[in-house]
Chains A and B, each alone.
Chain A
Amino acid sequence: MERPLTGHIKKGEAPPGFREYYRAGGYNGTIKALKEMTPAGVTSLVKASNLLGRGGAGFPTGVKWSLVPMEGENIFPKYLVCNADEMEPGTFKDRLLLEGNPHQLIAGMIAAAYAIQAGTAYIFLRWAYKKAERELRKAISEAYREGFLGKNILGTGFNLDIHVHTSAGRYICGEETALLNALEGKRGIPRTKPPFPATSGLFGKPTVVNNVETLSWISHIVEKGADWFKGLSLTGTGGTKLYGVSGRVKRPGLWELPLGVTIGEIINEHAGGMHDGYAFRGVLPGGASTDFLVEEHLDVKMDFSTVAAAGSRLGTGTMIVLDDRTCPVAFLQNVEKFYALESCGWCTPCREGLPWVEKMLSAIEDGKGKMEYLDILKFHTSYMGPGHTFCAHAPGAAEPLQSGLRFFHDDFKRHIEEKKCPWK
Chain B
Amino acid sequence: MEMKVVNIRIDGKPYEAHEGKSLLDTALSLGLYIPHFCYHPALGSVGACRLCAVKKFRDTNDTRGRIVMSCMEPVVDGLIVSINDPDAKAFRAAVIESLMTNHPHDCPVCDEGGECHLQDMTVMSGHNYRRFDFRKRTHNDQYLGPFISHEMNRCIQCYRCVRFYRDYAGGRDFNVFATHNNVFFGRHEDGTLQNEFSGNLVEVCPTGVFTDKTFREHYTRKWDLSNAPSVCVHCSVGCNIIAGERYDTLRRIMNRYNGAVNGYFICDRGRFGYEFVNGKDRILSPRTRDSRDLEQAEMPADQVFTALEPLFSKDRKIMGIGSPRASLESNYALLRLVGEENFFHGISGKEQSLTRAALQFMQNSGIVVPSLKQVEKADAVIILGEDLTNTAPMMALAVRQAARNIQITEALAKGIPFWNDLPVRELAQDRKSPVYIATPVKDSLDDVAERSFRGTPAGISKLGFNISSVIKRQAIVPGDNDDEIRNLAEQIARTLLKAENPLVIAGITCLDGNVLNAGMSIASSLLSLNKKVMFIPVLPESNSMGLALMPGKSLDDAADTLSVQGTDTLIILENDLFRRADEDTVANMFGKSGRVVVLDYLNNPTARAADILLPATAFAESQGTIVNNEGRAQRYYKVLAAGEGIKESWQWLNQVSGIRSDNVPVSPGHFDDIVASMVTALPVFSAIKEYIPDADFRMLNAKVPRQTFRYSGRTAMNAHRAVSEKRVRQDPDSPLAFSMEGRRESPPSSLVPFYWTPGWNSVQAFYNYIDHPNGSMKGGDPGIRLIRQAERVNSGSFEMITGYFESEGDGWLIVPLYRVFGSEELSSAASSLRQLVDDPAILVNRRDAERLNVDDGDSVRLETSGKRLVVKVKIENSLVSGVAGLTVNLPGMNFVDLPASGEILKI
Contact = CB atoms under 8 A, between A and B. Distances in A.
Answer yes or no: are A and B bound together in one complex: yes
B429 to A, nearest CB: 5
B179 A344 contact: yes
B128 to A, nearest CB: 15
Contacts of B48: 346-348, 390
Given A352-B98, A372-B131, A347 B426 contact: no
Contacts of B132: 356
A343 B49 contact: no
B461 to A, nearest CB: 38
A336 to B, nearest CB: 12
B180 A356 contact: no
A390 B428 CA distance: 22
Contacts of A353: 98
A352 B67 contact: no
Contacts of A359: 134
Interface stretch (A55-63, A192-200, A259-267): A192-200
Contacts of B805: none
A340 B132 CA distance: 16
Given A192-B420, A195-B414, A203-B429, A351 B181 contact: yes
Contact of B183 (A192, A351, A356): A351
Contacts of B178: 345
Contacts of B49: 347-348
B837 interface: no
A191 B422 contact: yes
B157 A348 contact: yes
Given A191-B422, A195-B427, A383-B94, A355 B180 contact: yes
Query: Interface residues of A toward B: which range?
Result: 35 or more
A320 B47 CA distance: 34
6 contacts: A200-B416, A341-B180, A345-B180, A346-B48, A387-B66, A390-B50
B201 interface: no
A345 B423 contact: no
Nearest to A190: B422
Contacts of B94: 349, 379, 383
A192 B423 contact: yes
Given A195-B416, A359-B134, A390-B48, A343 B101 contact: no
Contacts of A134: none
Contacts of A420: none
Contact of B157 (A203, A345, A354, A363): A345
A349 B181 contact: no
A342 B180 contact: yes
Contacts of A363: 134
Query: Interface residues of B toward A: which range?
Result: 35 or more
A422 to B, nearest CB: 23
Nearest to A390: B47
B181 A352 contact: yes
Given A192-B46, A195-B416, A348 B99 contact: yes
Contacts of B403: none
Q: Which 4 A-B pairs have the closest CB atoms?
A: A352-B98, A345-B183, A204-B427, A343-B180
B51 interface: yes
Nearest to B87: A382
B332 to A, nearest CB: 55
B50 A344 contact: no
Contact of B181 (A195, A203, A355): A355
B47 A347 contact: yes
Contacts of A383: 91, 94, 98
Interface string B375-417: 0000000000000000000000000000000000000001110
A349 B157 CA distance: 12
Interface in A58-102: none
Contacts of B99: 348, 352
Contacts of A170: 179
A351 B156 CA distance: 10
A356 B157 contact: no
A363 B426 CA distance: 42
Interface string A176-199: 000000000001000110110001
B423 A195 contact: yes
A345 B179 contact: yes
A357 to B, nearest CB: 11
A170 B49 CA distance: 22
A352 to B, nearest CB: 4
A390 B91 CA distance: 14
Contacts of B423: 191-192, 194-195, 200
B98 A199 contact: no
Contacts of A351: 157, 180-181, 183
A388 interface: yes
Contacts of A233: none
A341 B98 CA distance: 16
A376 interface: yes
Nearest to A197: B426
A44 interface: no
A389 interface: yes
In this complex, the member of A192, A204, A348, A383 whose beta carbon has the largest number of chain B beta carbons within 10 angstroms is A348
A389 B426 contact: no
Contact of A348 (B95, B137, B176, B429): B95
Given A204-B426, A347-B48, A351-B180, 20 more contacts: A187-B176, A192-B47, A194-B423, A200-B414, A200-B426, A204-B429, A341-B179, A346-B48, A347-B47, A347-B49, A349-B94, A355-B180, A356-B98, A356-B132, A363-B134, A376-B131, A379-B94, A383-B91, A388-B67, A388-B91
Nearest to A345: B183
B182 interface: yes
B354 interface: no
Nearest to A355: B181
Interface in A324-374: 340-349, 351-356, 359, 363, 372
Contacts of B183: 345, 351
Interface in A120-151: none
Nearest to A177: B426
Nearest to B180: A343
Nearest to A370: B133
Given A348-B157, A383-B94, A356 B101 contact: yes
A348 B423 CA distance: 20
Interface in B413-449: 414-416, 420, 422-423, 426-429
Given A191-B422, A344-B180, A387-B67, A349 B131 contact: no
In this complex, the member of A342, A344, A387, A389 whose beta carbon has the largest number of chain B beta carbons within 10 angstroms is A387
B372 to A, nearest CB: 29
B54 interface: no
A287 B679 CA distance: 79
Nearest to B134: A359
Contact of A191 (B95, B426, B428): B426
A199 B411 CA distance: 11
Nearest to B72: A192
Interface in B26-51: 46-51
Interface string B46-64: 1111110100000000000
B102 interface: yes
Contacts of A203: 429
In this complex, the member of A187, A199, A351, A389 whose beta carbon has the largest number of chain B beta carbons within 10 angstroms is A351
Interface string B631-671: 00000000000000000000000000000000000000000
B68 interface: yes
Nearest to B137: A355
In this complex, the member of B67, B179, B423 whose beta carbon has the largest number of chain A beta carbons within 10 angstroms is B179
In this complex, the member of B94, B102, B178, B427 whose beta carbon has the largest number of chain A beta carbons within 10 angstroms is B94
A345 B157 CA distance: 8
A352 B91 contact: no
Nearest to A204: B427
Contacts of A187: 176
Interface string B792-810: 0000000000000000000
Nearest to A350: B180
A241 to B, nearest CB: 32
Interface in A376-424: 376, 379, 383, 387-390
